[in-house]
Structure 1
Amino acid sequence: MPSAAFTLRPAALAILLAVAASPVFAQTPAAKPAAPASAAAPRSTPAPAVTPAPAAPVAAPATTAAAPTSGAPADPNAPPPAPPPPPLSDVIFTNGDIITLDDKRPAAQAVAIKGSKIIAVGKSKDILARWKSEGTEVVDLAGKTLAPGFVDAWGQLSRSGLFSVAARLQSPPEGRVGDTGALLRELREWSKGDLAQRFGWIIGFGYDETRLREQRQPSRHDLDSVSRDKPVIIVHQSGRQLVANSRALELAGIGRDSVAPAGGSIGRWPGSKDPDGVLEGSAAFALLGSLPQLPKEERQAMIQEGQGLYLRNGYTTAVEGRATADDLALYTQAAELGTLKLDVLIYADLGSSAQALKGSKTITPRYYKERLKLAGVSFTLDGSAETRSAWLTQPYKLPPPGKRTSYAGYPGASDEQAGELFAQAYASGWQVAVQANGDAAIDQFIKGLGTAADKHPGKDRRPLLVGAQTLRDDQIERLKALGVSLALTPRRLGLSLDVLKDDALGAERTARFIPAGAALKQGVPVFLTHDAAEPEPTPFGALAAAIKRAVGEDQQIGTLDALKAITLLPARQLGEEKLKGSIAVGKLADLVVLSANPLKTPADKLGEIRVIGTVKEGVTVFGGSEGGVPITR
């Protein structure tokens, strides 16, 4: 069958055009074409090994009845004709750059897929001669790039869905909010829309007071001017801080006599006990938990919205970090409805979800059930350096208003509380993913993890440290000894450079902020994740920020290491390196088609690379407007 640049048979093309017509299509459940269970059905058990195909197509067996002569009536007793033999492969990709990330075969010219698996990788002439037969789709990449599907190491899929539809409060160049007045206008405009009417409250995401003209936090009085009847909340770009209006504070029961919970703070007006609306850390999370909950249908829609964002950015495996008990129930429902199009791994919030986790029959650590699986449990030990809520061993350059010059942030938990959380996780055999940014919090992480590992020994625990903004060299050595990997958000440096350098850390510590280079040099695995300030995951933004830094060039990493940090390495962290993360025989056909080869693209141009199509287990789950990839079944 002749090949063509992203052209398919009429039936497949019609489906592709429906997918390519709008990226929103990938965000909503659709009727699935009939397919063999082994090809497209969600996995509940490990996929079987691939059986080698025969050396050549098997000829159809001869029938005993002779073919009728022209004009002669057909013999009603003749057996039906034999069906044609199945194709040797369903799809062959060729004529483009293929990045395998397989050290045994780092580059290739063609890839063949059968069912959900990759069955051959190699030279085009060999693959076509050996694996092409009647029924095989040959996809001409037309010079584009095929790479492994991206694997999330740490994220919040459903929160991405929520924040993507909230009022966008980012400052230039990401957004258009340059001052408090513009922020309030965005909220008022959003409050007129259908989403605000259905939700019953008003939410904005991504503000950063250090990038506003007034250089101050918005207050509850500012938000009261948007609405006094509905709760109004704006979430900081760090995700660790928010501002609430008077109604939201009232619903949360926060007033003059409220005491800030451990690991959090309640802002007060100067010289008064009255809350000013600014909440940090656990105080912010507590308020969110006390607000009116969205209907389940709306929250399911947020999962679908987040899923669509991940798919159109090339991710075939996503993570929901710090999942609550409600999140577990919602994801269980999504799995049972069969609406998950990519694999989702859950890190359940240990403090709030342990009991629900033990009673779950759907979310387990061994197997996917309808594309849902447990990765482990998570908790948080401090805030972030840019909001001056990370717990440091040395004081901040400038303390926040009302704080002493010795102010160095604060812990999210006592040493005893942190030790109990680690012990509970290890006693239950759960992998841990812990958020800690300040070096004092990282010391607490190392102590608690080491004690739990000694008390509950086990193999291949794969603990994960998320954030690690002010990680020291001596701590890197200890992390390596404990088998810890790092999930880093390199874009945070560029987004918060001025406040980090001028207010929080000073020039020297800022140059070492998020030390990916030092960690890699000492053999600690590094994964790149998207920043909480971004409404959607942007893998090439993370790559660009890790490859070329604004300050601290010694902490940059190479392009190949960066690409592995969103594919092969997080797959290993999640225990799925035998199935994902590289293009190799026997692995799942989780693939992404890119407009350009990131290994050949300058760092300042990486953000221009577009995802043309995303393939999950041989089935197209996203097709962009520039063409697509085949709908194989």
Structure 2
Amino acid sequence: MKRKLIKTLAVFTTLALTLSLSACGGGEGGAKKSEEASNIIIKNASVYTVDDKSSTAEAVVVKDGLIEYVGTEKEAMGYEDENSKIIDAQGSTVLPGNIDSHMHPAESAVQYCFEIGLQDFFSHEEYLKEIQRFVKENPDLEVYAGAGFMRSFYDSVGPRKEDLDKIVSDKPVILMSADGHSKWVNSKAMELAGITKDTKDPEGGVIQRDPKTGEPAGLLQESAANLVSDLLPEYSLEQYKEAIAWLQGWLNERGITTVYDGMIPVDNENYYMAYQEMAEAGELTIRVCGAWHMAPEMGNEKELRERIDKGIELSKGFTTDYFQVIGFKFFADQVLEEGTAYLDGEYTKELGGGHGIKVWDNDLLAALFTKIDKAGYQIHVHQIGNAAATYALDALEKARETNGANDNRHTFIHVQYLSKENMGRMAKLGMNAMIAPYWSVRDDYYYDIYIPYVGQEMADSMYPAQSLVDAGLNVATHSDFLVTEPDMGWLYYSAVTRTLPQKIFDFWYDGMDEYVRSPDTKATAEKGKYLIGPLKPYDERMKLEDIVKASTYGGAYANYMETEIGSIEKGKKADLLILDQDIFKSDIETVSNLKIKTTVFDGKIVYDGNKK
């Protein structure tokens, strides 16, 4: 997807200090579980339950992993015994655990732990210095993989192979862009993959070429990136476990207790068995749902059907409360930043016009959707352009006509452009809309990519949010990590204001005087300056209550877990957060800086900010 990754400042995270090869191996791995107590009583709280009445309460009692009581402090203290753990929330908000409904946790974790990370750097020269440093410190690796370079730093051809060749010429170097939709490679990688001047662009992909010589320049976009997939390093089961254990502790610190892995590879046993073995051993402090990845380049229709059958059989074995694969992930299109989102309108002349990439054949997509839908599994669709939504909905409606109505809760993720007509079609199908308010802001992408690529009118009509709620859709939230590091204050603030928080502005644009920030919709920038401010349409700004619901109950519902988590109600699993403020009494600027004081997962304290 879209956004530059934020290797965040020390003032609101410690991640930048731990993202190195030692990050996984040097810690205890996973979040610390609390000492045994007969129950946990959270008192003096502003409990926002997110139940169907949006009820509030003063206290919560947790016992045996479940919510025992929600109500007054006086009644809650009646549950106290000599072994109770009493937590004074000091008037702060208590919420259900945050649910990130589309990210790439295991994939991102191994990249952070074992590969080149460029997310901390903001120029081509800095990238090269970091690559050189990593190679020097890891001379024995057979392939140098990594991620995080910004596609927007380069022209349409992208970064060049020659720069990597100067650092490593005898081993492949393969670096994924921050948006996850292209790879920067050296000459050795292309040699081993058999990519030459005569290699044709694969369907749904582009091999960028030197405009003078026609030789591959070093950037492989979309499906063309798969040409080097066989060269990437393979990680052991223990490496995946190590990386997941590290990552989940960091997610707990950010208030996240449930995630959806949006692209589980059915052919990578180590990947999915790491989750499964940790779940069976009681080692997960997050709940993981997920989807098997499907792509047209994985085979013909027969082979794709067999892949679905394999995924379904594997899913039947994942029966714990902590890891389940409930769906199949499809790309309907790609991304606007690469000029590959499938749009109703055309890209500008600067990008060569055209409507972008339509990933699937209509009949094949309808056939696969019908098979998955009949089996009772969720269809999880990457959708950026409205044209992508239209043909994906055509396929989903054909599945409904064939199979009849059901409660499979199919999903569009990202939803950058969506017409009111298609919102209505989604509502009739009972679908989810997964949004990332982190991206619904006017930042440098607006000026450097969106206006040049699609024009002012389309740049001002992106990322519906409140209209999705008003259309009756179940709305959930996601970060697409590692595209964006999840942050609840940022999530809430940008959903409510469609503006970048001050703390993120200060980090991204430090020393860049050409950028000025204001959350005021009437603000303007003087000549030569760029306003980092609210993104139109302004009526897509969400109510705080709606974004809180989307990030809790909305995610639970999307994952078929609304009877177990997503709200604070008696009998539900005790996944809870204590914040450092009452967000419904604070101004929104203060909310943007919220911190998690305590995270409770399955009735156990897995993050205690007071012990840092």
TM-score tier (shorter): 0.7 to 0.9
Deviation at 1:105, TM superposition (A): 5.7
Instruction: Return the offset for 1:332.
Output: 2.3
Q: Does 1:300 align with 2:251?
A: no
Q: Secondary structure at the match of 1:613?
A: strand
Could you tell me the TM-score, scaled by structure 1's length? Answer: 0.79
Compare 244-253 and 461-470 and name the one that shifted more: 244-253
Give the SS at the match of 1:474.
helix
- Root-mean-square deviation (CA, aligned residues, Å) is 2.8
Decide which of 545, 566, 587 is 1:581's aligned counterpart: 566
Aligned partner of 1:99 in structure 2 is 48
Deviation at 1:191, TM superposition (A): 2.7
2:575 is aligned to 590
- Separation of aligned partners in 2, 1:138 and 1:33: 13
Alignment CA distance shift 1:412-1:421 (3 Å): same
Deviation at 1:192, TM superposition (A): 3.4
Letter matched to residue 260 of structure 2: V
- TM-superposed CA distance for 1:288, in Å, is 2.9
- Correspondence for 2:87: 139
Alpha-carbon distance between aligned partners in 1 of 2:227 and 2:100, rounded to the nearest angstrom? 27
Give 2:535's aligned residue.
551
Task: Please give the secondary structure, in 2, of the residue aligned with 1:386.
Answer: helix
2:151 is the alignment partner of 1:150: no
Q: Which residue of 1 aligns with 2:5?
A: none
Q: 1:376 aligns with which of 327, 338, 344?
A: 327
User: What's the CA shift string for 1:364-395, capped at 9, x where partnerless?
Assistant: 4xx426x2112211111211112211011211
Q: Could you tell which deviates more after superposition, 443-452 or 614-623?
A: 614-623
State the shift of 1:427 in Å: 3.0
1:421 deviates by: 2.4
- 2:13 matched to 1:28? no
Q: Answer with 1 or 2: which has the greater Rg.
A: 1
Pairing 1:519–2:468 present: yes
| 8 A Cα contact 1:219 1:243, kept in partner | yes
Alpha-carbon deviations, 1:514-571, whole Å to 9, x = none?
1112222222222221144646332332222221122211221111111111101110
8 Å CA contact 1:94, 1:110 repeated in 2? yes
- The aligned residue for residue 185 of structure 1 is 129
Q: Residues 64-92 of structure 1: CA distance to partner in whole angstroms, max 9, x if unpaired?
A: xxxxxxxxxxxxxxxxxxxxxxx9x6110
Structure 2 SS opposite 1:233: strand
Contact 2:466–2:540, Cα closer than 8 Å, also in 1: yes
Q: In structure 2, what is the equivalent of residue 76 of structure 1?
A: none
Separation in 1 of the partners of 2:582 and 2:592?
A: 12
What is the match of residue 522 of structure 2? none
Matches within 5 A, 1:505-544: 505-532=454-481, 534=483, 536-544=485-493
Q: Report the alpha carbon displacement of residue 432 of structure 1 after superposing the two structures with TM.
A: 0.6
Give the Cα separation in 2 of the matches to 1:604 and 1:202.
Answer: 42
- Secondary structure at the residue paired with 2:373? helix
Do the aligned residues in 2 keep the contact of 1:201 with 1:232 (CA within 8 Å)?
A: yes
Q: C-alpha separation between the residues in 2 aligned to 1:518 and 1:225?
A: 51
CA distance change for structure 1 residues 604 and 533 in 2, over 3 Å: closer, same or farther? Answer: farther
- Deviations along 1:253-282, one digit per CA (max 9) or x if unpaired, are 322232333222211221544211211222
Identity of aligned residues (%): 25
Matched residue SS, 1:572:
helix
Q: 1:218 aligns with which of 141, 159, 164?
A: 159
- Tell whether the 8 Å contact from 2:44 to 2:89 is kept in structure 1 after alignment: yes
Contact 1:100 1:582 (8 Å CA) reproduced? yes
Q: Which moved more, 1:135-144 or 1:388-397?
A: 135-144
Match of 1:356 among 297, 310, 314: 310
Which structure 1 residue ranges, 5 or more long, are not aligned?
1-21, 36-86, 629-633
The structure-2 alpha-carbon separation of the partners of 1:509 and 1:112, relative to structure 1 and needing over 3 Å to count, comes to same
Count residues with an aligned counterpart: 538
- Contact kept in structure 2, 1:527 and 1:566, CA below 8 Å: yes
Conservation of the 8 A alpha-carbon contact between 2:99 and 2:552: yes
| Paired residue type of 1:551 | L
Q: Report the Cα offset of residue 215 of structure 1.
A: 8.5
Q: Give the CA deviation at 1:104.
A: 3.5
In the alignment, the residues of structure 1 paired with residue 140 and residue 288 of structure 2 have an alpha-carbon distance, to the nearest angstrom, of 27
| 1:421 to 2:368 alignment | yes
Q: Which residue of 1 aligns with 2:250?
A: 309
How does the TM-score come out when normalised to structure 2?
A: 0.81
- What's the secondary structure of 1:153's corresponding residue? strand
Could you tell me which residue of structure 2 aligns to residue 123 of structure 1? 72
**Equivalent of 1:482 in 420, 424, 429:** 429
Distance (whole Å) between structure 2 residues aligned to residue 613 and residue 327 of structure 1: 35
> For the structure 1 residues 577 and 208, does the alpha-carbon distance in structure 2 shift closer, same or farther, using more than 3 Å as the test?
same
Please say if residues 529 and 539 of structure 1, whose CA atoms lie closer than 8 Å, have aligned partners that are also in contact.
no
Distance 1:521 1:472, change over 3 A: same
**Aligned CA distance change for structure 1 residues 426 and 289 (closer, same or farther; 3 Å):** farther
Counterpart residue number, 1:90: 39
Is 1:622 the counterpart of 2:563 in the alignment? no
Q: Residue 508 of structure 2 corresponds to which residue in structure 1?
A: none
Change (3 A) 1:128 1:32: closer
Contact preservation (8 Å) 1:332, 1:363: no
Structure 1: distance between partners of 2:479 and 2:186: 29
- The one-letter amino acid of 1:28's match is G
Matched residue, 1:77: none
Distance 1:26 1:525, change over 3 A: farther
Query: Counterpart amino acid of 1:280?
Result: Q
Q: CA deviation at 1:361?
A: 6.5
Determine if the alignment matches structure 1 residue 260 to structure 2 residue 201.
yes
Q: How far is 1:138 from its partner?
A: 1.4
Q: 1:347 to 1:502 in 2, by over 3 A?
A: same
| Aligned: 1:397 with 2:382 | no
1:450 aligned partner: 397
More displaced stretch, 299-308 vs 148-157: 299-308
Paired with 1:307 and 1:606, the residues of 2 have a C-alpha distance of 24
Does 2:380 match 1:439?
A: no
What CA deviation, in whole Å up to 9, does each residue of 1:211-238 have, x standing for no partner? 46x7872111122222112322222222
Letter of the structure 2 residue corresponding to residue 97 of structure 1: S
The DSSP-based 3-state class of the residue aligned with 1:527 is: strand
TM-fit CA distance, 1:326? 4.1
Partner Cα distance (1:27, 1:507) in 2: 50
Question: Which of 399, 409, 413 is matched with 2:356 structurally?
Answer: 409
Q: How does 1:193-272 map to 2 (within 5 A)?
A: 193=137, 196=138, 200-211=142-153, 217-272=158-213
Q: Is 1:499 matched up with 2:440?
A: no
Q: Give the drift of 1:113.
A: 0.9
C-alpha contact 1:332 1:362 (8 A) present in aligned 2: no
Q: Does 1:340 align with 2:325?
A: no
Contact kept in structure 1, 2:34 and 2:604, CA below 8 Å: no
Report the 3-state secondary structure (helix = DSSP H, G, I; strand = E; otherwise coil) of the residue aligned with 1:234. strand
How many angstroms does 1:323 deviate by?
A: 0.7
Residue 536 of structure 1: SS of its match in structure 2?
Answer: coil
